[in-house]
Amino acid sequence: MRLTSVVTRRVAAMLVTAAVTLSSVAGAVATAPAPGPPELPALAPKSLTRIYEDNLEYFEEAAAMAEVDGHHERAKTLRTMGQPDRQFLSVDARGQGRVVEVLGDLERAERISILVPGSDVSIDTFDGEVSGHSLGASARTLHARSGQMSRKRVAVIAWLGYETPDTLSPAVLTQGRAEEGAAELRTFVGALRRVSDAPIALMCHSYGSVVCGLAAVGGGGHAKLEVADIVVFGSPGMGVESADDLVDGTRLWAGRGASDWISLVPNASLTIFGTTVGFGNDPTEHSFGALPLPAGDGGHSDYLKPRSAALDGLARIASGDFGQGIAGA
């Protein structure tokens, strides 16, 4: 639904002005220098070991360069990530960074889940210890819970494959970053199919749900996104009108915690000076056509916290053990 009322225009203009002001106040942040990412072989079962090894070597190279330039915290972060027991499909430590980590045996997995993050996620915040506030920790929590709830072999991928917007920036109000992320996500899922034909679920948090929505729009001249499930949680909208706009054969799930502040964000889209602000209809509304994901009383960063209702629902979808629905829905 495209709103054209004067009130909506004024609200959207105020949001843009506030975001521009806040991002200007935040100021520029110096980034650590880093080498370009390693030249990796095409993703395939026989190349996985080399890809993992080459990316671990890259972490040390990038850490050494950051250390020489005085970026000691970035160097420490990179060395912590580059431990020999971890598996990375891609890493780029330049700027905000890109990281794609695998939990589990990707080649033998019976189900694969890809966590797609929202705003404020970078290589510096990827590896925190608090699930829900850290993409890496969230992936570890989901992988562990899936293993507890199912006997199926589940792989979880923490996908920082696009430049996420800052919460205090104009970019978080528009689809620009999501469009770039959607193209990257389609490419990644296509490459993943050379390793495994297991059903894939996209787990999309906050602004990441816009990325997933745009990636899964049917038609448009791009390759079909072959995923079994898309789950959006803490979503401001998906950039589409309803579940009917997504590719056929994909189940859509949506949930929002009772204490999630995202409920205060207007579910609308409006074009101002050639830029579309907002992400459209609320995917948790019955009319949108999504299956319900029980999310309990949690807030915006609580969906993947241990012992949360949303985590159990996400784990069931990750393993495919949900029958016609999820208990508690």
Give 86-102 pLDDT, tens digit per residue: 999 999 999 999 999 99
Residue 311 has pLDDT above 90, yes or no: yes
β strands within 170-323, DSSP E: 200-205, 229-233, 251-255, 269-272, 275-278, 291-292
CA dist 312 and 319 (Å) reads: 11
Q: What is the pTM of this model?
A: 0.90
Average pLDDT value for residue range 129-139: 91
- Confidence class of residue 273 from pLDDT cuts 50, 70 and 90? confident
What b-and-e string marks burial along 106-143, b requiring 16 or more CB atoms within 10 Å of the CB?
beebbbbbbbbbbbbbbbbbbbeeebbbbbbbbbbbbb
CA dist 102 and 251 (Å) reads: 23
Q: Which has the higher per-residue pLDDT, 176 or 22?
A: 176
Residue 26 has pLDDT above 50, yes or no: no
How many C-alpha atoms does 33 have within 13 Å on its Cβ side?
A: 6
How far separated are the first and last CA of the chain, in Å rounded?
A: 27
Contact in structure between 32 and 69 (CB atoms under 8 Å) = yes
pLDDT at site 329: 45
CA dist 153 and 202 (Å) reads: 17
* Residues in contact with 283: Cβ distance below 8 Å, sequence separation at least 6, in sequence order: 209, 232, 235, 237, 238, 243, 252, 254, 290
β strands within the chain, DSSP E: 87-92, 98-103, 111-116, 154-160, 200-205, 229-233, 251-255, 269-272, 275-278, 291-292
If 0-12 CB within 10 Å is exposed, 13-18 middle and 19+ buried, where does residue 181 land?
A: buried
Residue 226 has pLDDT above 80, yes or no: yes
DSSP state, 30? -
Contact in structure between 253 and 232 (CB atoms under 8 Å) = yes
Structure tokens at 199: 């059903």
- Considering the segment(s) 6-27+96-319 as one domain, its CATH architecture is 3-Layer(aba) Sandwich (3.40)
Residue 78 has pLDDT above 80, yes or no: yes
- Confidence class of residue 132 from pLDDT cuts 50, 70 and 90? confident
Q: Which has the higher per-residue pLDDT, 22 or 252?
A: 252
Average pLDDT value for residue range 136-147: 97
CA dist 136 and 64 (Å) reads: 22
pLDDT digits (tens, 9 = 90+) for 61-77: 999 999 999 999 999 99
Structure tokens at 273: 């000076």
Average pLDDT value for residue range 108-112: 98
If 0-12 CB within 10 Å is exposed, 13-18 middle and 19+ buried, where does residue 177 land?
A: buried
CA dist 217 and 220 (Å) reads: 8
Beta strand 154-160 with 98-103 is antiparallel
Average pLDDT value for residue range 116-135: 92
What three-state secondary structure class fits 233? Answer: strand
What three-state secondary structure class fits 119? Answer: coil
In one-letter notation, the amino acid at residue 60 is E
